[in-house]
A and B are shown apart, each in its own frame.
Chain A
Amino acid sequence: MAEPVTVSDNKHKSQVNSGASYSGNGRSSAAAAERSSGGSGSSSGAGAAGGGLSGGLTQPAGWQSLLSFTILFLAWLAGFSSRLFAVIRFESIIHEFDPWFNYRSTHYLSSNGFYEFLNWFDERAWYPLGRIVGGTVYPGLMVTAGLIHYVLNLLHITVHIRDVCVFLAPVFSGLTSISTFLLTRELWNQGAGLLAACFIAIVPGYISRSVAGSFDNEGIAIFALQFTFYLWVKSVKSGSVFWAIGCCLSYFYMVSAWGGYVFIINLIPLHVFVLLLMQRFSRRVYIAYSTFFIIGLVLSMQVPFVGFQPIRTSEHMAAAGVFVLLQVYAFLQYLKDRLTRQEFQTLFFLGVSLAAGVVFLSVIYLTYTGYIAPWSGRFYSLWDTAYAKIHIPIIASVSEHQPTTWVSFFFDLHILVCTFPAGLWFCIKNINDERVFVALYAISAVYFAGVMVRLMLTLTPVVCMLSAVAFSCVFEHYLGDDMKRQSPPAEDSSDEDDRKNAGNLYDKAGKVRKHVSEQEKAEEGLGPNVKSIVTMLMLMLLMMFAVHCTWVTSNAYSSPSVVLASYNHDGSRNILDDFREAYYWLRQNTEEHARVMSWWDYGYQIAGMANRTTLVDNNTWNNSHIALVGKAMSSNETAAYDIMRSLDVDYVLIIFGGVIGYSGDDINKFLWMVRIAEGEHPRDIRESDYFTPQGEFRVDKAGSPTLLNCLMYKMSYYRFGEMQLDFRTPPGFDRTRNAEIGNKDIKLKHLEEAFTSEHWLVRIYKVKKQENRDRVEHKLRSSNANKQKYTSKKTSKRKRGYIRNKLSLKKGKKLQKKFL
């Protein structure tokens, strides 16, 4: 790399750029030149997989494109097949929770058509409220799957919609790796691009959201994200409206697919803003951003769920502010030609700071007057990390919203997490417009990933790209012979305007070449031995990475969580299919419009598999409704019965893991139910009541009496006290919490057990109807006693007679008569 030269050159570049007029014709030739030189520079990078093939061939360009094509194809194939663990081990089944909803709505879309889907009111969710599905989902995923299904059927390839849904994410992972390749090629060179494509194909951080069966927004959204960024970089580099429009369309797809589009709409303005600060403003940036902002805004508002948010909420205001700033900046640049230097400088600083101030103040004013909604809680909690914990327990309760430990960084990224800072270093050292972008991308994504485990997903692509840059740098210098490297190594991937302006202003490129060739001579001394050792070790690291990825995918990310598996000592496998067993029971044995109450985690599964009405589900839009369910679960049976009656509950479904030691069951989630209920009903539910005086949460005899008598506890442990799992433990021993339960003699008054699955994992209770006449046992008994006192005198004769005859007394006939 010819750093010293480019460092000094970059400073002049901005002025050169802003002065130079944009020429549409220059683009294609420049791109072509870049492609050829990029290819030759990266031959060593590609050689990482292909060896020294290209050395002795007459037409390296042809071989190179073949090689890149093959590598990309293999990356796609490897990515696809490593996501199939779950399908091979279990079956083609939709995983987890959210995918069940997506599957259900895709099914609805494919059987009823697009417009029906947009107007779909789902009366089976959030009873009695219902849910307007068409207006509250990002439809991109369903439309994509539905479209593929439609096209396949049009070609008379009959595929069930479920199979399309199951295999959608693995297929899209291949597209992601191709778009990553394209983006990295724009940023660095082709060799780095190929490495990046291979990395992202198998990296666990991305596989975690895109295994077969995980039919979720993220699976296609990462593709859209990378592709949008690629088109953005392309449009900044070329300054052409064509690429900018392409970027908008890709952005539109992203908006329709995932809420994470907010990341794009903030990152791109940030990029433009930083470019302005670095005095790298050019017409290319102006054209690209103005086009992107306007068209992107209009397109994003076409998605029903997004609607007017892009002009009404704070998350989108940065983009508008930067847009205004850019216009002012461009206008001042225009004035520059017409004014003297002194005048311009004062005007410039005045103008820019005035514009920034006006934008800022107007945003604040509009926020106060209510035209712009303030930051929504989910986004706000990213900045103020203590916010969610205090104010929104329902966000804090989700495990993927927890902060990230270093272990999970390493687990998801392995070697990449240590090497990608090196790539960032190289990018910043050889900065240009698009590398500013990738640096900002890396820094913002790494912050978000640190705050939330879930956002590791947005970090993963940039880590792959930057690590690929680092590895490709090493391979470029250590792979291959010293003698053969006559062609200049890659400074070619930098701005095209270097090239464009090279001819007419000063001969920069020539200087670079000279410098590099000087280096080449000095470099010959490093020796083949050292080089080959370094190469071997690097390849070994990559091999370990591949092995790690496969292991992680196979062990951590490939369980459908709808079907569980356990392994015996001899390695044979037990399938625990309790969930589906229970949902199928519900489907078959209950009335069609029966309402099932459960904690919100299982709402989508009940709707999807059992096809029954649920009260709350994973779309947690109504906190007070969830709190009501939480209150029912955490109050005692009588109070819970009132709530359940008011909600028309017919069945209650809970997950109980005490028999097999399943840790994700409802008792372990119980404290969150209490907390959420307490948030809405602080008078009735208090979290402290569920702890022992020492502040412990325990289910055994020492546990707090409120806990031992609440509905959730009773339902979980009903009849569990009679059950002895093995001879070493007492009856009623909970394997999940390793404790003997404290309340073994549980009697249910308003509920009755309807179904318990094979391993007790799912228990379903039926809520009894109210009796025709209330049995008021105590009063009756006391009045009886009184009556007896009086009546004994009245009927003393008869009584005397009976007393003598003991047999007739035993029958108790007389007593019965009295009761009636």
Chain B
Amino acid sequence: MFRKLFICVFALVFFYYGPTDAQKKKETLLSEKVTQMMEWTSKRSVIRMNGDKFRRFVKAPPRNYSVVIMFTALQPQRQCGVCRQADEEFQVLANSWRYSSAFTNKVFFASVDFDEGSDVFQMLNMNSAPTFLHFPSKGKPRRSDTYELQVRGFAAEQLARWVADRTDVQIRVIRPPNYAGPLLLGFLLAVIGGLAYLRRNNLEFLFNKNCWAFSALCFVLIMTSGQMWNHIRGPPYAHKNPSTGQVSYIHGSSQAQFVAETHIVLLFNAAVTMGIVLLCEAATSDIDIGKRKIMCVAGMVLVMLFFSWLLSIFRAKYHGYPYSFLIN
């Protein structure tokens, strides 16, 4: 506020004394604009713009700073999920720049929401959001000033690289550390500890082997059914053929898999395991003989059926595999 006042006074004094030629006026306008932009940036790292502001600070000529603008549609009724993710990344980038030691007034980050500045969208002939545009300090935006969102994705690192490419400003992306994970872990530990403390007189469940064995089995089954692959690669749950509307749960190639498929495999593996355990239980437990026979037969059927089923799925995926059993 003070600074603004000072500049106003300065400008007044300047106008009063100095000759008011165009060059001077331009400079004043420029410095005024820069000051205004700096002030906004100090409030929030991404400046929100509407049509007026956009025309005044980005389109209008005297300008010695670049502006990187994200055109987006964040209003909930627009239902743009990508916009929100892109917005988060953009905020990360803008914050990294705002709080970095190299911060200057060379580059500003701004965003235009469709519902606030639809005239800007019309002016620029834009019909998709989010879009990232760079307005260079000199000259008109060129083709490469439009960020190729489809190709490069909207990760803050990629954006930073693009900005560095366009403006020569290197931004080191610093993500705010994600405290959610450790907090959740701490919370979970606290809950477990609390439960253990509440039940401190009855800690038998810690010695329950069934419990431990069951969790170990769960972990092993999760790993052998390729959930880690899903975690790293993020495949779709299943594939729906757009033309026929048919949903396929099994991926056709052996190099990839759907999430649904891994769940099926997990169940099959678990069934075979259970079959083997049942077979052994049937032979060793001391319940009456009828039940044991049923257990034995059930175990046998589980092992055979689900293993041959698994084999048939494998065969469908691994082309040229010759063997099958019971089920083709």
* Chain A residues within 8 Å of B, Cβ to Cβ: 1, 3, 7, 11, 385-386, 390, 403-411, 415, 417-422, 424-426, 428-429, 431, 439, 442-443, 446-447, 449-451, 470, 473-474, 477-478, 518-519, 522-523, 525-527, 530, 533-534, 537, 540-541, 544, 547-548, 551, 682, 686, 688, 691, 693-695
Contact = CB atoms under 8 A, between A and B. Distances in A.
Interface string B267-297: 0111011001101101110100100110011
Instruction: Name the 4 nearest CB pairs between A and B, nearest first.
Output: A477-B283, A450-B228, A418-B272, A525-B289
Contact of A693 (B148, B283, B297, B318): B148
A450 B227 contact: yes
Most A C-beta atoms less than 10 A away, residue of B219, B261, B283: B283
Nearest to A413: B224
Given A421-B273, A429-B213, A551-B323, A409 B224 contact: yes
Interface stretch (B43-51, B78-86, B299-307): B299-307
Nearest to A449: B223
A274 to B, nearest CB: 11
Contacts of A544: 323, 325
A473 B283 CA distance: 10
Contact of A405 (B210, B257, B270, B283): B257
Interface SS of chain A? helix
Contacts of B200: none
Interface stretch (B11-19, B62-70, B99-107, B229-237): B229-237
A488 to B, nearest CB: 12
Given A403-B232, A406-B224, 5 more contacts: A425-B273, A426-B277, A443-B219, A450-B227, A537-B303
B265 interface: yes
Contacts of B272: 418-419, 422
A383 B164 CA distance: 31
A530 B226 contact: no
B293 to A, nearest CB: 7
A547 B325 CA distance: 12
B207 A403 contact: no
B225 interface: yes
Contact of B224 (A417, A439, A477): A417
Interface SS of chain B? helix
B190 interface: no
A530 B297 contact: yes
Contact of B262 (A406, A420, A530, A533): A406
Most A C-beta atoms less than 10 A away, residue of B157, B217, B262: B217
B121 interface: no
Nearest to A446: B223
B192 interface: no
A407 B254 contact: yes
Contacts of A451: 228, 232
Contact of A418 (B161, B228, B310): B310
Given A474-B280, A525-B289, A548-B323, A409 B226 contact: yes
Contacts of A418: 268-269, 272-273, 306-307, 310
B176 interface: no
A235 to B, nearest CB: 25
B128 interface: no
A577 B315 CA distance: 32
A478 B283 contact: yes
A547 to B, nearest CB: 6
Most A C-beta atoms less than 10 A away, residue of B228, B269, B297, B307: B228
Contacts of A408: 254
Interface in B241-279: 254-257, 261-262, 265, 268-270, 272-273, 276-277, 279
Most B C-beta atoms less than 10 A away, residue of A411, A419, A551: A419
Interface in B185-213: 207, 209-210, 212-213
Nearest to B227: A450
B286 A477 contact: no
Nearest to A516: B284
Given A477-B283, A477-B284, A530 B293 contact: yes
A694 B219 CA distance: 41
A682 B150 CA distance: 20
A522 B207 contact: no
Nearest to B153: A695
20 contacts: A403-B226, A404-B228, A406-B261, A406-B265, A407-B257, A411-B318, A421-B217, A425-B217, A426-B277, A428-B212, A442-B216, A450-B227, A477-B280, A478-B279, A523-B283, A530-B296, A530-B297, A544-B325, A547-B323, A695-B150
Nearest to B151: A695
B213 A424 contact: yes
A1 B165 CA distance: 70
B322 interface: yes
Nearest to B256: A405
B220 interface: yes
Contacts of B282: 526
Contacts of A431: 209
A522 B283 CA distance: 10
Contacts of B276: 419, 422, 470, 473-474
Contacts of B317: 407
Nearest to A525: B289
Contacts of A428: 209, 212-213, 216
